[in-house]
Structure 1
Amino acid sequence: MDLSSHEREVTRVATTIRVQAGRGGPVRIDKGGVSHFVPVPGDPREHAAAIDASRFRRVLAIDPERRICVAEPGVTFAELVPRTLEHGLVPAVVPELEDISLGGAVAGCSIESSSYRYGGFHDGCLEYEVISGDGEIVTCSAEKDPLLFDMIHGSYGTLGVLSRITFKLVQAKRFVRMQYRHFDGFDAFHAAMAERCRVGDFEFIDGIVHGPRSFVLCLGAFVDEAPFTSNYRWLDVYYKSTLGRTEDYLTTPDYFFRYDAECHWLSRTVPGLETRPVRWLVGRHVLGSRNLIRWSKRLDRVLGMKQRPDVVCDVFVPQRNFSAFYEWYARDFDFWPLWVVPYRMPRPYPWIRESHAKHRDELWIDCAVYGKPNDDPLVDGSEVLEQKTYELGGVKTLISRNHYSENRFWEIYDRERYEAAKRRLDPHGVFPGLYEKCHRVRKS
């Protein structure tokens, strides 16, 4: 493994951080590419001084025998998967959007349909190299400095700059065979999903709730051969295909990024973009998470004319409270499709305060709400969803709009452990704190 280029880049970033620390003022980490924080008009973080970490884009080593990969955090999963597939291997968890980076997956809690087995991408990580707020190079693992290792996950770039990640790989095949099992009621759908998670006879499990009487359980398994393959990169829409199909075959990369063309179903907010004629004409230029996110940023001024942006949010609800959450969601929130992903927490995460989820289940359910209009002047749907998740002992990802008071926030997140990690890695506050970063100025 030739680390000379990597070490030079680490030295450059560390020097930049030390200089910026002397200047004071707010900073942000510029990873290059697109940010997966939900756009908020007038976000003041855009005006903070940038720490340029955009050159951390190399796969440093793949060890097929040990099934381990070492890579820099700016490598995207779309770049990584073809490299590891050459060895018949993939990361245990591959997030569904092509431009999600390895570092973003660690810092921002990425999951996918293999998460019922493996948890989040970070649960397969073995070691992190981090550049601290003092410009020091810190290496941590579960054995070496476990506090820092545990707290990097879900820190959203507030503790330091990730510069190298070592993580596990699992065996894979060229294709994925999909089975779609259809249900017209929640109870049968929920029971079938729980049973498949218990038995573990599929590599991939997720679900799409198209409406209160239309549930699809999506079950995937690696296969060596495929009688046909479907393509959802241009003219056809993946999530719509699950309504009519009972079986499908995709190449392994196309399976991993099956939601990317639409950014799940956000493309439907553009009139006509789910129709074949429009997709044929302009799809190459506007489809895909990279394009859609960039267009959303270009339309920041238009978004600013709204009272508030649409609801785009993932919430994790303990399995035992999933039925209660769904009953409330169908009755009061009423937005479809709803993406449902079972998620196994291999062990209690130290960044969650024990008193918040003291009865937590090992299996959680990620309920992903993507694009609910939020223009009711009397009710902020984002805040309502946040409150219901808290009531049910759940946890919300922080890439969306956040409404917590500081006291409520630290009822969920473990302040003592976070501040201990902050003192170790960023004692002078070069990077914003977790609460400060994730609670931006916004219109109410």
Structure 2
Amino acid sequence: MPDCVAHDRRVSTLQSRIAHFHSTSTPFRIYHGSTNSTRHASFDPFAIIDVSSFNNILSINASTQTAIVEPNVPMDALVAATTAQGFLPPVVMEFPGITVGGGFVGTAGESSSFKYGFFDRTVVRAEVVLADGTLVKCSATEHAELFDGLRGSFGTLGVLTLVEVMLVPLKSWVEVTYYPTASSAEAMDVLQKETRKGENDYVDGVLFSKDSGVIMSGRLVSEPSSPRIPVCRFSRPWDEWFWIHARSLTSSDKATTELVPIGDYLFRYDRGAFWMGMYAYHHFFVPFWYIFRVLLDYFMHTRIMYHALHASGYTDRYIIQDIAFPAASAKAFVDYLDEKFGIYPLWLCPLRKDGRVSMGHPRQFDGPVGGQEQTGRTYQGEYINVGVWGPYPSSEVEYIRANRELERKTRELGGLKWLYSRVFYTEDEWCELYDKEKDEALRMKFGATGLPSIWEKVRDRGKKKEEHGTGLKGLLKRMIKSSALLSGFYGIYKAVRGGDYMLKKKSS
């Protein structure tokens, strides 16, 4: 059966189920089978639209340089299919399990986003089933208001069933140059200089401390510019984790250039989930040595780690936020983090000027930038994303207070959070940042009021109340979840065992 025929049948079945929910006025949620969000996730199997089977690549067109895919296709599958045909998605999220649909209706950027924008900017056409079961095709020229509204909508306008993504010609290598920096100010300066170089295809950076960091720029090449450039890899179990390798180059007094295979570069942060895997070693009292990183490599990939994170409940033990700031305000936020939290490493990722409009339908920003007022003018410059990911052992009250303080500083500096993370704003604070009226008008126009709004989708609901049951099994579960160490082992067990970790069990 041709994939397109099977796709049409899946869409027809989906339309029927959505139309049923609509006719009975039953609210429903969209279920993907996995998540790269850190929000507590739990779905009622009787009130979901299951799109987990929409994971097929339908076609790759060399003449138009586009790929037509279903929304649940993960990044590694998309890259494997397109590179086999001599092409590459211009924006590839760094975790292999992030999906095309999640990248389009969520917030998803990477080190090429200074050049191409967020992932949604690489989408040229989409197919969506509205909340009444109607199938609509949209693009910049067809149902343009819906197409634009889908960006950062988090599945609140309809159910995505197909996406057409632009491609660029494949080059097999990335020539990566590492620039050591000795302060946050120098890091920001080098980062912006590298984004202005036309030959660069990728730019990002890591701050390891207040006075140590590295900015990395990459150029797609078919052949190295010099035969003396060493080849470096990051995907095999015996390869060093990327951030550790980058840190080893900060002691140099000059730039270092290496040649990295394209697949290794694109998913360079998968092993160890940037540096979050390091905290797992500390938690389980395992020495963070090279030999143990090799032996335990299976557990240190993001698909396993996300599963374990949710099963263990550890989203309440870490501050995990990505925040995009006007470029001139990013240093002030980094300095604030250093003083108040001391969390390192920090990820730096430059973003294109249009980045803000891809982030959950926000209002325009016209406040001060970098300490300077811009009265009466809307900010139209570049952004720099700061990734803040680290442990914050504390009581629940203190954890929420710390996250709310981060959100307050974010608003003060004109920043905007990526909404995969937990959101602690009050509804009034949310409405100051996001255009609720525009969002509601869109939802009304396209009949999506039966779906949750963006606010309802992302707002924090506190710790998930778990039902452990009675008897010996219930007692054991309560004992496990009351122990930080045991709950960690439980998370690993559930991840290795596999299966669903978000759907509630159906009652008999």
Q: TM-score, normalised by structure 2?
A: 0.80
One-letter amino acid of the counterpart of residue 257, structure 1: F
Change (3 A) 1:242 1:49: same
User: 1:233 Cα deviation (Å)?
Assistant: 4.0
User: Per the alignment, in what secondary structure is the counterpart of residue 179 of structure 1?
Assistant: strand
One-letter amino acid of the counterpart of residue 89, structure 2: P
1:31 is matched with 32
1:330 is matched with 338
Whole-Å Cα distance in 2 between the matches of residues 274 and 102 of structure 1? 34
Report Cα offsets for 1:320-341 as digits up to 9, x if no partner. Answer: 2122222212222320010000
The one of 61, 73, 76 equivalent to 1:75 is 73
User: Per the alignment, in what secondary structure is the counterpart of residue 228 of structure 1?
Assistant: coil
Larger mean CA deviation between 200-209 and 231-240 belongs to 231-240
Maintained 8 Å contact 1:356/1:411: no
2:251 paired with 1:231: no
The one of 431, 440, 445 equivalent to 1:419 is 440
Maintained 8 Å contact 1:88/1:172: yes
Whole-Å Cα distance in 2 between the matches of residues 72 and 36 of structure 1? 18
Residues 371-382 of structure 1 aligned to structure 2 (within 5 Å): 371-375=390-394, 377-378=397-398, 380-382=401-403
Maintained 8 Å contact 1:122/1:153: yes
Residues 191-206 of structure 1 aligned to structure 2 (within 5 Å): 191-206=189-204
2:422 is matched with 401
Whole-Å Cα distance in 1 between the matches of residues 87 and 428 of structure 2? 44
Whole-Å Cα distance in 2 between the matches of residues 247 and 219 of structure 1? 9
Maintained 8 Å contact 2:279/2:391: no
User: 1:274 Cα deviation (Å)?
Assistant: 4.2
Report Cα offsets for 1:392-435 as digits up to 9, x if no partner. Answer: 111111111111121221221122221122113334x3321111
Change (3 A) 1:294 1:348: closer
Q: How many residues align?
A: 434
User: 1:242 Cα deviation (Å)?
Assistant: 0.3
One-letter amino acid of the counterpart of residue 341, structure 2: F
Residues 344-363 of structure 1 aligned to structure 2 (within 5 Å): 344-346=352-354, 349=357, 351-354=361-364, 359-363=378-382
Residues 9-48 of structure 1 aligned to structure 2 (within 5 Å): 9-32=10-33, 34-40=34-40, 43=41, 45=43
Larger mean CA deviation between 364-373 and 378-387 belongs to 378-387
The one of 294, 302, 312 equivalent to 1:299 is 312
2:246 paired with 1:242: yes
2:323 paired with 1:318: no
2:148 paired with 1:150: yes
Whole-Å Cα distance in 2 between the matches of residues 190 and 39 of structure 1? 30
User: Per the alignment, in what secondary structure is the counterpart of residue 264 of structure 1?
Assistant: coil
User: 1:139 Cα deviation (Å)?
Assistant: 1.3
Report Cα offsets for 1:92-115 as digits up to 9, x if no partner. Answer: 110000000000001111000001
2:292 paired with 1:278: yes
Whole-Å Cα distance in 2 between the matches of residues 348 and 341 of structure 1? 14
User: Per the alignment, in what secondary structure is the counterpart of residue 270 of structure 1?
Assistant: helix
2:279 is matched with 269
User: Per the alignment, in what secondary structure is the counterpart of residue 52 of structure 2?
Assistant: coil
User: 1:26 Cα deviation (Å)?
Assistant: 4.2
User: Per the alignment, in what secondary structure is the counterpart of residue 325 of structure 1?
Assistant: helix
User: 1:282 Cα deviation (Å)?
Assistant: 2.9
User: 1:437 Cα deviation (Å)?
Assistant: 1.3
Where in structure 2 are there 5+ consecutive unaligned residues?
225-229, 250-255, 368-376, 465-508
Change (3 A) 1:47 1:331: farther
Whole-Å Cα distance in 2 between the matches of residues 171 and 150 of structure 1? 26
Maintained 8 Å contact 1:273/1:283: no
User: 1:25 Cα deviation (Å)?
Assistant: 4.6
Change (3 A) 1:87 1:362: farther
Maintained 8 Å contact 1:267/1:273: no
Maintained 8 Å contact 2:57/2:70: yes
One-letter amino acid of the counterpart of residue 279, structure 1: R
1:254 is matched with 264
Maintained 8 Å contact 1:77/1:94: yes
Larger mean CA deviation between 412-421 and 251-260 belongs to 412-421
Maintained 8 Å contact 1:210/1:337: yes
2:460 paired with 1:440: yes
User: Per the alignment, in what secondary structure is the counterpart of residue 199 of structure 1?
Assistant: coil
Where in structure 1 are there 5+ consecutive unaligned residues?
none
One-letter amino acid of the counterpart of residue 280, structure 1: V
User: 1:46 Cα deviation (Å)?
Assistant: 5.8
Change (3 A) 1:36 1:46: farther
User: 1:378 Cα deviation (Å)?
Assistant: 3.8
Whole-Å Cα distance in 1 between the matches of residues 382 and 306 of structure 2? 31
Maintained 8 Å contact 1:319/1:361: no
One-letter amino acid of the counterpart of residue 278, structure 2: R
One-letter amino acid of the counterpart of residue 237, structure 2: W
